[in-house]
């Protein structure tokens, strides 16, 4: 009987403690190539973006009704591998630190399934680190011990673990030994904290020993309660700290006073909504997160390629008829560049004096169009290039490798018109504006009034409103958890309120609004909303600076 070659394999991957940046490079690579990902409650779901194409199976202990026992999880891993799948078993922290990864590995060995283990950063190291507590320090301790809370919290307890506890006796902790250790981290110990602290004190540990409990360590929702051993249980209840949390007991806890770096970042603990398009959100989101904010992305606008390329092609002097068998004009499909499409006879070089881009998206859609028809920036001939906004200018340099001749310091259309006027560059000149379909008409008007010989204003991409706001945003709104909403354009402001519904002013009553500049502010005011802050420099960094500044 010929045995079929199996490619089924299981990777036990540590997801790290929560901050998605703390996944290992190996973990990310394996997620990207997985057929199926079996993940836990403690593995940050954001990591699933690395495995968009994979099947995802949630086996978290918090899935109230369908909570899967360890035996079932073991069997699931075996079954999936037997179906020739590349399986990533994604577990919070490190798979072998109180993660029952050892049991899963045993099951795989028994079933003769190949497997690999990818360690992760465990909570007892990472959560204190993010709370400003180094787990060892030469002055305080030369050992550091990881202990699991004696009584497992209900949410992590399944029938199998209860049976095991009954069979083996649940206490294998010798408190007389533990009380002598200089630095100890307790996993799964929030509910049993009163007992842990009492046992330590009973066994000779000083009641004044510094101790801290850190909830959701390394995430933007991290909270830390610092106390002494005798006060900790009460303070943890007072501060409503619950699982998942790590408790660390030892003198190193005092170091937090000087090295508490994470929770002191300017926007730590603030929940901030980003209303930009998905394509544009990440720069703002990442920068806000780096300052400590918890970001909710609620795109109010979606971008799409123009439904008709004719005007654009005419303006760029592209003759599409001369470009055979390419995915031309297809919505949102830039396609791969067709070869040999250059037909000088069919191509007329249009001599623009100025080509103006008003957004990075406009630059990218232009690049994609040129590629799709097998052309390049030579369609611009000798035209000078202008940009509104430094992000637009950066995109022109990066995506088109073109030098930007003019980018006024103030990032609005009026400033560009003024800058051109000052240089005597409007009268008699020919302008091509490559912009969004909803762009303001002021630039065109100013150029026309200034005596331009021609102003060709074409929409290089189209925008459409999102149809709904994401559930995470609606939940946060209902629970009063939002501190700021950022608006980076008039259209995002208008769309956001229309998606919120008629009572939007009531819903936004207690939330601070941040505007990227005067045009957006005017729109907000027209909507009856007063921004708490407006950027001084009308770009993303300016907006972030405005939010980080204390509001008077």
Instruction: Please identify which residue in 37, 236, 245, 546 interacts with ligand SAH, judged by CB under 6 A.
Output: 245
**H or E element: which one contains 225?**
strand 223-228
Residue from 19, 35, 40, 457 carrying the catalytic annotation: 40
The contacts of residue 13 (CB under 8 Å, 6+ apart) are 24, 26, 27, 30, 31, 88, 89, 90, 91, 95, 118, 120
Q: Helix, strand, or coil here: 249?
A: strand
Residue 357: both structure tokens together: 């881009």
Question: Nearest CA to 519 among 541, 499, 489, 539?
Answer: 489
Instruction: Please identify which residue in 18, 20, 292, 374 interacts with ligand SAH, judged by CB under 6 A.
Output: 18
Asked about 446 being catalytic, the answer comes back as: no
Q: How far is the CB of 127 from ligand SAH (least distance, A)?
A: 4
Q: Which residues sit opposite 185 in a β-bridge? A: 146, 248
In whole angstroms, what separates CA 495 from the centre of its chain?
22
Total of chain residues touching ligand SAH, rule CB under 6 A = 23
Residue 84: both structure tokens together: 């020739």
Q: How far is the CB of 87 from ligand SAH (least distance, A)?
A: 18
Q: Beta strands 301-304 and 354-357: pairing type?
A: unpaired
Interface with ligand SAH, residue 27, by CB under 6 A: no
Residue 117: both structure tokens together: 């283990």
Interface with ligand SAH, residue 214, by CB under 6 A: yes
**Binding span for ligand SAH by CB under 6 A among 97-105, 260-268, 349-357, 503-511:** 97-105
**Residue 293 burial by Cβ neighbours in a 10 Å radius (0-12, 13-18, 19+):** buried
Q: Which is nearer to ligand SAH, 188 or 455 (CB)?
A: 188
Dump strand ranges (E) for 404-521.
430-436, 454-465, 484-487, 512-515
The contacts of residue 91 (CB under 8 Å, 6+ apart) are 12, 13, 14, 15, 39, 40, 42, 43, 99, 101, 120
Pure H helices in 136-276: 159-168, 175-178, 193-202, 232-238, 256-259
Q: Which is nearer to ligand SAH, 96 or 357 (CB)?
A: 96
Interface with ligand SAH, residue 20, by CB under 6 A: no
Q: Which is nearer to ligand SAH, 92 or 210 (CB)?
A: 92
Interatomic CA distance for residues 186 and 199, integer angstroms:
13
Q: Can you say whether the dihedral through the CA atoms of 84, 89, 94, 99 is positive or negative?
A: negative
**Binding span for ligand SAH by CB under 6 A among 91-99, 339-347, 470-478, 532-540:** 91-99
Residue from 19, 35, 61, 353 carrying the catalytic annotation: 61
Interface with ligand SAH, residue 516, by CB under 6 A: no
Interface with ligand SAH, residue 292, by CB under 6 A: no
Instruction: Please identify which residue in 70, 74, 122, 495 interacts with ligand SAH, judged by CB under 6 A.
Output: 122
Q: Which is nearer to ligand SAH, 8 or 92 (CB)?
A: 92
Interface with ligand SAH, residue 187, by CB under 6 A: yes
Asked about 390 being catalytic, the answer comes back as: no
Q: How far is the CB of 101 from ligand SAH (least distance, A)?
A: 7
Instruction: Please identify which residue in 17, 20, 299, 374 interacts with ligand SAH, judged by CB under 6 A.
Output: 17
367 close to 392: Cβ distance less than 8 angstroms? no
Instruction: Please identify which residue in 88, 107, 241, 243 interacts with ligand SAH, judged by CB under 6 A.
Output: 243
Q: Which is nearer to ligand SAH, 8 or 119 (CB)?
A: 119
Q: Which is nearer to ligand SAH, 42 or 433 (CB)?
A: 42
Interatomic CA distance for residues 521 and 534, integer angstroms:
7
Q: Could you identify the residue written with the tokens 């009553």?
A: 509
Instruction: Please identify which residue in 8, 27, 92, 250 interacts with ligand SAH, judged by CB under 6 A.
Output: 92
Interface with ligand SAH, residue 246, by CB under 6 A: yes
Interface with ligand SAH, residue 104, by CB under 6 A: no
Q: How far is the CB of 154 from ligand SAH (least distance, A)?
A: 11
Core vs surface per residue 276-290: b (16+ CB within 10 A) or e: bbeebbeebbebbbe
Q: Which is nearer to ligand SAH, 12 or 312 (CB)?
A: 12
Interface with ligand SAH, residue 179, by CB under 6 A: no
Q: How far is the CB of 243 from ligand SAH (least distance, A)?
A: 5
**H or E element: which one contains 445?**
helix 442-449
Q: What is the DSSP string of 32-53?
A: HT-SEEEE-TTS-GGGGGGGTT
Q: Which is nearer to ligand SAH, 61 or 494 (CB)?
A: 61
Interface with ligand SAH, residue 244, by CB under 6 A: yes
Interface with ligand SAH, residue 220, by CB under 6 A: no
Instruction: Please identify which residue in 22, 36, 88, 97 interacts with ligand SAH, judged by CB under 6 A.
Output: 97
Interface with ligand SAH, residue 129, by CB under 6 A: no
Chain residue whose CB lies nearest ligand SAH: 93
Interface with ligand SAH, residue 188, by CB under 6 A: yes
Q: How many helices (H) and strands (E) does the chain have?
A: 20, 20
- Provide the binding-site residues for ligand SAH, judged by CB under 6 A: 17-18, 42, 91-94, 97-99, 122-123, 127, 187-188, 214, 216-218, 243-246
Residue numbers annotated as active site: 40, 61
């Amino acid at each position: 009987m010929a045995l079929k070659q199996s490619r089924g394999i299981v990777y036990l991957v540590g997801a790290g403690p929560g901050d998605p940046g703390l996944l290992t490079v190996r973990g990310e690579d394996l997620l990207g190539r997985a057929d199926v990902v079996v993940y836990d409650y403690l593995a940050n779901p954001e990591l699933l973006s690395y495995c968009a194409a994979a099947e995802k199976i949630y086996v978290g202990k918090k899935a109230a009704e369908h909570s899967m026992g360890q035996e079932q999880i073991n069997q699931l891993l075996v079954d999936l591998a037997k179906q020739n799948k590349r399986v990533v078993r994604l577990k919070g922290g490190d798979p072998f630190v109180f993660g029952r990864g050892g049991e899963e590995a045993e099951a795989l060995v028994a079933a003769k399934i190949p497997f690999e283990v990818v360690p992760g950063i465990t909570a007892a190291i990472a959560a204190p680190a993010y709370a400003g507590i180094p787990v060892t320090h030469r002055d305080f301790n030369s050992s550091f011990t990881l202990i699991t809370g004696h009584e497992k919290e209900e949410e992590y307890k399944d029938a199998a673990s209860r049976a095991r506890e009954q069979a083996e006796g649940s206490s294998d902790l010798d408190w007389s030994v533990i009380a002598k250790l200089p630095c100890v981290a307790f996993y799964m110990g929030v509910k049993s904290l009163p007992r842990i602290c009492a046992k330590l004190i009973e066994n000779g540990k000083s009641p004044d020993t510094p101790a801290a409990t850190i909830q959701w360590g390394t995430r933007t929702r991290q909270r830390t309660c610092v106390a002494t051993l005798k006060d900790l249980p009460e303070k943890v209840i007072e501060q409503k700290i619950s699982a998942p949390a790590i408790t660390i007991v030892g003198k190193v806890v005092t170091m937090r006073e000087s090295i508490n770096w994470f929770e002191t970042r300017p926007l730590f603990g603030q929940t901030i909504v980003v209303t930009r398009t998905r394509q544009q959100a990440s720069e703002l989101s990442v920068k806000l997160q780096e300052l400590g904010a918890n970001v909710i992305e609620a795109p109010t606008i979606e971008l799409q390629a123009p439904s008709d390329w004719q005007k654009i092609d005419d303006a760029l002097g592209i003759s599409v008829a001369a470009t055979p068998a390419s995915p031309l004009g297809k919505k949102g499909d830039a396609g791969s560049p067709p070869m040999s499409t250059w037909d000088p006879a069919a191509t007329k070089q249009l001599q623009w004096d100025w080509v103006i881009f008003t957004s990075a998206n406009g630059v990218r859609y232009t690049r994609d169009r040129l590629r799709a028809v097998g052309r390049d920036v030579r369609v611009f001939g000798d035209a000078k290039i202008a940009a509104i906004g430094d992000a637009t200018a950066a995109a022109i340099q990066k995506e088109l490798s073109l030098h930007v001749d003019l980018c006024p310091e103030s990032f609005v259309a009026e400033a560009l018109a003024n800058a051109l006027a000052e240089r005597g560059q409007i009268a008699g000149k020919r302008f091509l504006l490559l912009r969004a379909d909803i762009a303001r008409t002021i630039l065109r008007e100013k150029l026309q009034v200034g005596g331009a010989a021609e102003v060709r204003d074409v929409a290089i991409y189209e925008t459409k409103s999102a149809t709904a706001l994401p559930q995470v945003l609606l939940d946060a709104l209902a629970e009063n958890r939002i501190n700021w909403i950022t608006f980076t354009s008039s259209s995002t402001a208008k769309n956001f309120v229309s998606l919120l519904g008629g009572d939007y002013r009531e819903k936004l009553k207690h939330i601070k609004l941040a505007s990227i500049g005067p045009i957006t502010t005017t729109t907000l005011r027209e909507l009856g909303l007063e921004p708490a802050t407006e950027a001084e420099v009308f770009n993303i960094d300016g907006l972030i600076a405005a939010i980080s500044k204390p509001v008077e």
